[in-house]
C-alpha cells in the first residue's frame, strides 16, 4: 500500500482516484472544488487542505488537471518544494509537450522521479480502470509508475523520454479529429447523392476507409447504436476537448516545423463549431455544421 497525493479529482481524476483507493492505497486528495473533493472522500480518500498538504509525506503524486498552466502552477508552486526525495510524480493531464518536458526537468534536478502519462478512454475508461496510458520518462521512472498505472488502465505504452507521452497523445488526437471530419464529410456527401447511410457504413466499415470515428463513434444515428449521434450528440468526448487537443498539436507543429495542413484545417473547423456554442456537444456533432444545419 502506498500513500498517494492526488490533485484534480474532476471527471477523470475522480474515478481514477477511486480505483487507487479500491486497490488498497491511502489517497490524500485535493481539488479546488469542494463538491468534487467530497465525492472522493465519500469513497475513502482523506481530504487535504491544499495541494501541498496532499503531497506532503506521499510516496506517489498523481495530477489530473485541465491544462499546462495548471500543471506548471501546481508543480512549481506547491508540489516540487513539498515532496520528499524518492517521491514518484505522475502527471496524467493532457498538456503541451514543452511544459511537460520543462516540469520533468525541474523534478529531475531535485532528484525526483517523474513521468507524463496522459490517457485515452474517457470517463467510462477511467471508471472501469481500462484507460490507455501513453507514458514519457526515463526507464526506471516508468518501471516505478507502471504498478499504479495498471490499477487505473489496461494498456500502458512507454513512448520514450520526458514529454513523449504527451507527444503520442496529441498526434493520436490530431489523427482522430481529422478522421472524424473526413467521416462526417463522407456521410454528408452520401446524403446528397441519395445513398442510404447504413449502406455507406456497410461498405466503409469493412473497406479501406475503416477507422474508429466510423466504427465506434459513427456521426449519424443508426449504424452504431452506442455512438453519441443516437443521443443527440451528448458527450462522450466534447468538441471543446477536441479543439484543445488540436490546438496543442498545431502549437507543437509550429514549434517543431512539421507540416500538418489537415490538422490545421481540422482545428479551424472545430474552432468554428465550438464558437457556435457547441463546446459541450460531442465532437462527432461536427457533422451538423458540415451539413450546414
Where on the chain is the footprint of ligand NAD (CB under 6 A)? 7-8, 10-13, 30-33, 36, 51, 64-66, 70, 74, 93-94, 119, 122-123, 237, 241
- The least distance separating ligand NAD from the CB of residue 111, rounded to whole angstroms, comes to 24
**Minimum CB distance to ligand NAD smaller for 59 or for 282:** 282
Q: Is 110 among the residues known to form the active site?
A: no
- The least distance separating ligand NAD from the CB of residue 45, rounded to whole angstroms, comes to 13
**Minimum CB distance to ligand NAD smaller for 48 or for 112:** 48
Closest residue to ligand NAD in the complex (CB): 10
Is residue 214 within 8 A of residue 205, CB to CB? The reply is yes
Is residue 282 within 8 A of residue 233, CB to CB? The reply is yes
Q: Which of 169, 192, 199, 268 is catalytic?
A: 169
**Minimum CB distance to ligand NAD smaller for 10 or for 44:** 10
According to the 3-state scheme, what is the secondary structure of the chain? CCEEEEECCCCCHHHHHHHHHHCCCEEEEECCCHHHHHHHHHCCCEECCCHHHHHCCCCEEEECCCCHHHHHHHHHHHHCCCCCCCCEEEECCCCCHHHHHHHHHHHHHCCCEEEECCEECHHHHHHHCCEEEEEECCHHHHHHHHHHHHHHEEEEEEEECCCHHHHHHHHHHHHHHHHHHHHHHHHHHHHHCCCCHHHHHHHHCCCCCCCHHHHCCCCCCCCCCCCHHHHCCCCCCEHHHHHHHHHHHHHHHHHCCCCCHHHHHHHHHHHHHHHHHHCCCEHHHHHHHHHCC
**Minimum CB distance to ligand NAD smaller for 188 or for 267:** 267
- The least distance separating ligand NAD from the CB of residue 211, rounded to whole angstroms, comes to 19
- The least distance separating ligand NAD from the CB of residue 64, rounded to whole angstroms, comes to 5
Is residue 156 within 8 A of residue 125, CB to CB? The reply is no
**Minimum CB distance to ligand NAD smaller for 32 or for 189:** 32
Q: Note the maximum CA span of the chain.
A: 66
- The least distance separating ligand NAD from the CB of residue 242, rounded to whole angstroms, comes to 10
- The least distance separating ligand NAD from the CB of residue 149, rounded to whole angstroms, comes to 14
**HSE of 84 in the Cβ direction (CA atoms, 13 Å)?**
8
**Minimum CB distance to ligand NAD smaller for 44 or for 66:** 66
Question: Which residues form the catalytic set?
Answer: 169
Amino acid at each position: 500500500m502506498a500513500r498517494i497525493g492526488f490533485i484534480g479529482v474532476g471527471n477523470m481524476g475522480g474515478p481514477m482516484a477511486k480505483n487507487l483507493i479500491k486497490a488498497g492505497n491511502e489517497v490524500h486528495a485535493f481539488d479546488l472544488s469542494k463538491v468534487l473533493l467530497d465525492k472522493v472522500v465519500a469513497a475513502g480518500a482523506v481530504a487535504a487542505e491544499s495541494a501541498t498538504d496532499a503531497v506532503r509525506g506521499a510516496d506517489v503524486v498523481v495530477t489530473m488537471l485541465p491544462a499546462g498552466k495548471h500543471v506548471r502552477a501546481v508543480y512549481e508552486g506547491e508540489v516540487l518544494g513539498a515532496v520528499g526525495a524518492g517521491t514518484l510524480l505522475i502527471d496524467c493531464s493532457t498538456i503541451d509537450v514543452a511544459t511537460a518536458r520543462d516540469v520533468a526537468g525541474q523534478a529531475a534536478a531535485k532528484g525526483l522521479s517523474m513521468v507524463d502519462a496522459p490517457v485515452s478512454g474517457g470517463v467510462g475508461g477511467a471508471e472501469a480502470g481500462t484507460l490507455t496510458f501513453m507514458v514519457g520518462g526515463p526507464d526506471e521512472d516508468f518501471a516505478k509508475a507502471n504498478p499504479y498505472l495498471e490499477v487505473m488502465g489496461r494498456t500502458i505504452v512507454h513512448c520514450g523520454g520526458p514529454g513523449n507521452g504527451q507527444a503520442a497523445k496529441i498526434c493520436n488526437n490530431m489523427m482522430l479529429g481529422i478522421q472524424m471530419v473526413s467521416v462526417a464529410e463522407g456521410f454528408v456527401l452520401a446524403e446528397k447523392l441519395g445513398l442510404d447511410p447504413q449502406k455507406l457504413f456497410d461498405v466503409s466499415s469493412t473497406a479501406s476507409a475503416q477507422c474508429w470515428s466510423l466504427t465506434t463513434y459513427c456521426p449519424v444515428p443508426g449504424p452504431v447504436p452506442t455512438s453519441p449521434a443516437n443521443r443527440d450528440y451528448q458527450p462522450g468526448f466534447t468538441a471543446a476537448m477536441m479543439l484543445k487537443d488540436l490546438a496543442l498539436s498545431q502549437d507543437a507543429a509550429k514549434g517543431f516545423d512539421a507540416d500538418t495542413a489537415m490538422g490545421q484545417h481540422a482545428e479551424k473547423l472545430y474552432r468554428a463549431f465550438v464558437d457556435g456554442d457547441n463546446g459541450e456537444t460531442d465532437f462527432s456533432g461536427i457533422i451538423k455544421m458540415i451539413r450546414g444545419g
